[in-house]
Structure 1
Amino acid sequence: MHCTEYFNCMKNVLGSSEHACHQKGCFSLVCESELHSNQAKLFIEQKKIPFPVDNHNTNEELAIGYVLIGNGLYDESIKHFSLLLQGDPELVSAIYGRGIAYGKKSLQEAIETFKEALKLKSDFIDAYKSLGQAYRELGDFESAMESFQKALMLNQNHIQSLQLRGMMLYHHGSLQEAIGNFKRCLQLEPYNEVCQYMKGLSHVAMGQFYEGIKAQTKVMLNDPLLGQKASSEYLKVKYLREYSRYLHSHLDIPVAEYNVDQDLPGNFKNHWAKNLPFLIEDYEEQPGLQPHIKDVLPQNFDSYSSEVQKLICTADHLGALMQYETPGFLPNRRIHRAMGLATLEVMQAMHRTWSNSKVRVNGKTRQMQWRDMFDIAVKWRRIADPDQPVLWLDQMPARSLSRGFNNHINLIRGQIINIRYLAYFDNILDFIKDRILVYHGAYNPRGLLEVRQALENVNKVEDLLPIMKQFNSKTRDGFTVNSKVPSMKDPGKEYDGFTITITGDRVGNMLFSVETQTTEERTQQYQSEVESIYKDLTAKGKALMLSTELGDADAVCNLILSLVYYFCNLMPLSRGSSVVAYSVVMGALMASGKEVIGRVPKGKLVDFEAMTTPSPDSFSKTAKSWMNLKSLPGWYQSLPSVAETFPSTRTMIEVLNTDSSSHCPKKS
């Protein structure tokens, strides 16, 4: 039966006019239903259903559930599988399918559902693999490893488990183990692009450029067939290869003598940061590998002096304090060490500046500026994971800047909820309600009471759309709300903060996102604010070196946190703004004689905390409440200089590769 026949049939059943039916959308729903049914038949033919049963109708219903997942209709899929399970509570394939759909909504429910499937079928490899992936997305490394291990005990050649475990190990900072998984994956499936790309990336991150670039070139040669969509690895690999060559040619040049943001071509940076296909006019490739520059060799922890060993162990401890205790963030030991070293280097550089010493930056010896302070953290964040372009947005080509460079975060997209930001949903909802009331107070004062009453019943962001459509004729498919950030330099003045966008035609099909626009004008406003605070901070920091007044130290602390408040609201980097900001906070506080003892509380994120807090003062209060600042122990001052101990990319990669697990004292 074709869609038109379906439509006539439905029209008769509903007893409604053609116009009304179009409005109800049943025409598209019926077409959709026929489409899903056809896709389900194909699904069965291709034997994609895990553990099919003898009953053909049941298999068709199972297939429809999986097709709904494939079409992003997770809520409908959960309902569909739940209905099937009412008839047969032990239908393993339906339990597993429901777990996959839950994975896009609530990882905890997905985990429980996969466990339920495994109770009924203990040799269900895909359920172990999916359980491992759910734990990995939650940020629970140990549980994920255990689940992947169980999948591979059932089948040591299970490619998806090897691939997922390898990727998790990479993002945990365990690069050597990750490479082992990718090698095994490629023995079994030589053209696996994900394993090939990740193997190349892992080698380069460890400073093994010859092996790394060989693997990257294999991905580049794997051109998609005509009409075939290119994989994300294929689209990214040219950037990685060019950046790898750049890193290799600069391995032994002191980091203080060059600047990545100035060296890399503007269009290359712009395309890389925006994740665009590599189509760059008149692009001149980086020089190929030069044989006289050798790969980075493994470094033994014992080969460092006892002072440097203490430096490394201290960095590991400080870096771990920056770890978000929030679902969705996997602890990464490599990032911990890199950002711990960044914190110590910031501390030492600020101390030098406040003691009237100069620093070496970009081949010049001069007084340290605010950007130099952040550049220390940027340098370490960049080297910890070469896959991510950590670039200053104001150093992008002028044309790209004038159009604005958006940092975009989807909080809800379609039916997928971003669990990393869940703790901020209520905050943002209250903020949107306030802005709606302000808007109606200005443009529709008579209807204000009605709007206020309607908003009181709204507990979820999704429920705002119908209300906005009801009270504002301009709201067709969505609306935006802007936050404002107050100036410290010019009291009474406000800057544009972030933009919240809510669009969609119904609950379950919406986009709820937050973005910051890095236009030239906005960048200049924030930078003048940061410069003004930094100038004040330098003066007060110098005074602090000569004083013992507690009030002076507190004023310095507030200035440091205010500086980072504006940095986070500006979002000046293509990646990594949050951890860069926090390592600068910790390092500058240590320079002022304060040690951060506390961890970032569960659910809290430094950048979002700054973005959703109305003023620098309230951000300072919140941050201080969790930092639990104590007086800095004297031995910190006698640690070796980070910049002198690790002056080049080679020495930085060496220290990040070094295993200290059995050497550093365990700290709680």
Structure 2
Amino acid sequence: MILQHRMAGLAVIEIAQKVSKAWRIEWRNSTKGTTKNGKKNRRRERTNILSQNRGGAGCSSSSFSETSTGYASLEDRSSGRSILSWQDVYSPAVRWRQISEPCDPVVWVNKLSEEFNSGFGSHTPMVLGQAKVVRYFPNYERTLTLAKSIIKDKLSVRSKKDKVIDLSKDEKIEKIMRAETCDELHNIVGEDFWVATWCDSTGSEGKRLEGTRITCIQKPGRLGYDFSIRTPCTPARWSDFDEEMTSAWEALCTAYCGENYGSTELDALETVRDAILRMTYYWYNFMPLARGTAVTGFVVLLGLLLAANMEFTETIPKGLQIDWEAILNVEPGSFVDSVKSWLYPSLKINTSWRDHTEISSAFSTTGAVVAALSTYND
């Protein structure tokens, strides 16, 4: 636990330092890069990332930051613009998580070529046969209610073979709405099935992104049911969420790099906080990592807040899992309202972190990171 807390803390500071520098360059150029009609000349560029996965950085002499955009290079670009992509923002958290738990497959799904092309997806069970999964079962009732709501809206579900199962006849919808367990739901449908949630897009009005799939599968021998969420990650879905994450990141940069830049007034930074939460919402529904999406998402959330001089001083409410809050809300606004109720009152202005040594320089190799995470004081 100490190791994970230390990993998260160092990752938060590194992200804050990296993003803060990019925002400073963005703000500096925005004050002199405005067109006659008042619009910013914002050039959308992407970095050439060698690999978002570990890429062989497994020895003590390898560069810990070799796969990310160097801080100095941000100012060396001829465009004079910050060119951080949303993946550049999340990559430090991914690398820290990789090294802190080297046996976990914390990798970007789109780098798993065969699995990616076949629609690789994460699997998170709430019920496994006759057992309740302690970590995730608290979300069972909400997930069941959401599944019934989706079925009522679509009047159908999908089979294991991805065939449409029509439920519009024989009063099946009425029976489904009265179902209180996944067992009852499965009995009414009559076979294994899944329904997909969705996310309302902010970047493209009226567009819906595919969220996660709520699945209900009967175990062999009638030994209960698997009730879980499975998040697919196909090339088409990746493209949709990549576009949405890009839009969310640009909206955040715009919110902070204007008149709010450098503010130390919490009231003035509300639009920035909302933009950070919207970006977090899409990250959790995207679920672009084979493992570790939840913790990296929260680490980046804290890092972005800190980059805007806001520190979270409390803990997540007991029993709440922020990634599930995103997954079970189809509208980003509902997620923002849910999280801000406990997050915003726990924020305070903090600029002292800017005096810290640059994390990417202090821990420039994988060996240095391992040493930092492995050192304990008696």
TM-score scaled by length of structure 1: 0.45
Decide which of 12, 19, 27 is 1:343's aligned counterpart: 12
Provide closer, same or farther for how the CA distance between residues 374 and 441 of structure 1 changes in structure 2, counting only shifts above 3 A.
Answer: closer
Secondary structure of the residue that 2:253 maps to in structure 1? helix
Decide which of 540, 547, 553 is 2:269's aligned counterpart: 553
Q: Is 1:375 the equivalent of 2:96? A: no
C-alpha displacement at 1:513, in angstroms? 2.0
2:203 paired residue number = 489
Provide closer, same or farther for how the CA distance between residues 497 and 658 of structure 1 changes in structure 2, counting only shifts above 3 A.
Answer: same
Alignment length (residue pairs): 320
2:160 paired residue number = none
C-alpha displacement at 1:547, in angstroms? 5.0
2:334 paired residue number = 618
1:503 paired residue number = 217
Secondary structure of the residue that 2:214 maps to in structure 1? strand
1:571 paired residue number = 287
Q: Distance in 2 between matches of 1:462 and 1:601?
A: 31
Letter aligned with residue 462 of structure 1: D
User: Is the 8 Å Cα contact of residues 392 and 573 (structure 1) preserved in structure 2?
Assistant: yes
Q: Distance in 2 between matches of 1:383 and 1:612?
A: 30
Q: Distance in 2 between matches of 1:564 and 1:609?
A: 11
User: Is the 8 Å Cα contact of residues 594 and 629 (structure 1) preserved in structure 2?
Assistant: no
User: Is the 8 Å Cα contact of residues 567 and 581 (structure 1) preserved in structure 2?
Assistant: yes
2:370 paired residue number = 653
C-alpha displacement at 1:485, in angstroms? 1.0
Letter aligned with residue 512 of structure 1: F
Q: Is 1:534 the equivalent of 2:203? A: no
Provide closer, same or farther for how the CA distance between residues 596 and 507 of structure 1 changes in structure 2, counting only shifts above 3 A.
Answer: farther
Unaligned segments of structure 2, at least 5 residues: 29-46, 48-64, 75-82, 158-165
Q: Distance in 1 between matches of 2:7 and 2:167?
A: 53
Comparing 496-505 and 338-347, the one that deviates more: 496-505
What is the root-mean-square deviation in Å for CA atoms of aligned residues?
2.5
1:423 paired residue number = 138
Decide which of 430, 445, 468 is 2:189's aligned counterpart: 468
Q: Distance in 2 between matches of 1:457 and 1:540?
A: 45
C-alpha displacement at 1:467, in angstroms? 2.2
Letter aligned with residue 645 of structure 1: A
Cα deviation 1:83-120 (Å, max 9, x = unaligned): xxxxxxxxxxxxxxxxxxxxxxxxxxxxxxxxxxxxxx
User: Is the 8 Å Cα contact of residues 502 and 510 (structure 1) preserved in structure 2?
Assistant: yes
2:54 paired residue number = none
C-alpha displacement at 1:595, in angstroms? 1.3
C-alpha displacement at 1:612, in angstroms? 0.7
Secondary structure of the residue that 1:408 maps to in structure 2? strand
Cα deviation 1:142-175 (Å, max 9, x = unaligned): xxxxxxxxxxxxxxxxxxxxxxxxxxxxxxxxxx
Provide closer, same or farther for how the CA distance between residues 554 and 515 of structure 1 changes in structure 2, counting only shifts above 3 A.
Answer: same
Letter aligned with residue 592 of structure 1: A
Provide closer, same or farther for how the CA distance between residues 495 and 634 of structure 1 changes in structure 2, counting only shifts above 3 A.
Answer: closer
C-alpha displacement at 1:421, in angstroms? 0.9
Q: Is 1:643 the equivalent of 2:364? A: no
C-alpha displacement at 1:458, in angstroms? 2.6
C-alpha displacement at 1:548, in angstroms? 6.1
1:411 paired residue number = 126
1:264 paired residue number = none
Q: Is 1:352 the equivalent of 2:21? A: yes
Q: Distance in 2 between matches of 1:602 and 1:551?
A: 27
Percent of counterpart pairs with the same letter?
Answer: 26
Letter aligned with residue 207 of structure 2: K
User: Is the 8 Å Cα contact of residues 598 and 626 (structure 1) preserved in structure 2?
Assistant: no
Provide closer, same or farther for how the CA distance between residues 601 and 376 of structure 1 changes in structure 2, counting only shifts above 3 A.
Answer: same
C-alpha displacement at 1:447, in angstroms? 4.7
User: Is the 8 Å Cα contact of residues 167 and 189 (structure 2) preserved in structure 1?
Assistant: no
The 5-angstrom pairing of residues 30-429 of structure 1 reads 332-356=1-25, 362=67, 365-366=73-74, 367-397=83-113, 399-429=114-144
Comparing both chains, which one has the higher relative contact order based on Cα–Cα distances under 8 Å and sequence gaps of 6 or more? 2
User: Is the 8 Å Cα contact of residues 478 and 502 (structure 1) preserved in structure 2?
Assistant: yes
Q: Distance in 2 between matches of 1:547 and 1:411?
A: 43
User: Is the 8 Å Cα contact of residues 126 and 139 (structure 2) preserved in structure 1?
Assistant: no
Secondary structure of the residue that 2:231 maps to in structure 1? strand
Letter aligned with residue 245 of structure 2: V
Q: Distance in 2 between matches of 1:459 and 1:573?
A: 33
1:433 paired residue number = 148
User: Is the 8 Å Cα contact of residues 540 and 552 (structure 1) preserved in structure 2?
Assistant: no
2:350 paired residue number = 633
Unaligned segments of structure 1, at least 5 residues: 1-331, 470-476, 663-668
Secondary structure of the residue that 1:420 maps to in structure 2? coil
2:162 paired residue number = none
Letter aligned with residue 189 of structure 2: M
User: Is the 8 Å Cα contact of residues 609 and 619 (structure 1) preserved in structure 2?
Assistant: yes
Cα deviation 1:489-538 (Å, max 9, x = unaligned): 11211011111111227864222121011100000100100001111212
Letter aligned with residue 379 of structure 1: R
Q: Distance in 1 between matches of 2:87 and 2:323?
A: 18
Higher helix share: 1
Letter aligned with residue 656 of structure 1: L
TM-score scaled by length of structure 2: 0.78
User: Is the 8 Å Cα contact of residues 560 and 585 (structure 1) preserved in structure 2?
Assistant: yes
Q: Distance in 2 between matches of 1:632 and 1:614?
A: 31
Q: Select the structure of larger CA radius of gyration.
A: 1
C-alpha displacement at 1:636, in angstroms? 2.2
Secondary structure of the residue that 1:482 maps to in structure 2? strand
Higher strand share: 2
Q: Is 1:521 the equivalent of 2:190? A: no
Cα deviation 1:61-80 (Å, max 9, x = unaligned): xxxxxxxxxxxxxxxxxxxx
Provide closer, same or farther for how the CA distance between residues 444 and 640 of structure 1 changes in structure 2, counting only shifts above 3 A.
Answer: closer
C-alpha displacement at 1:338, in angstroms? 0.5
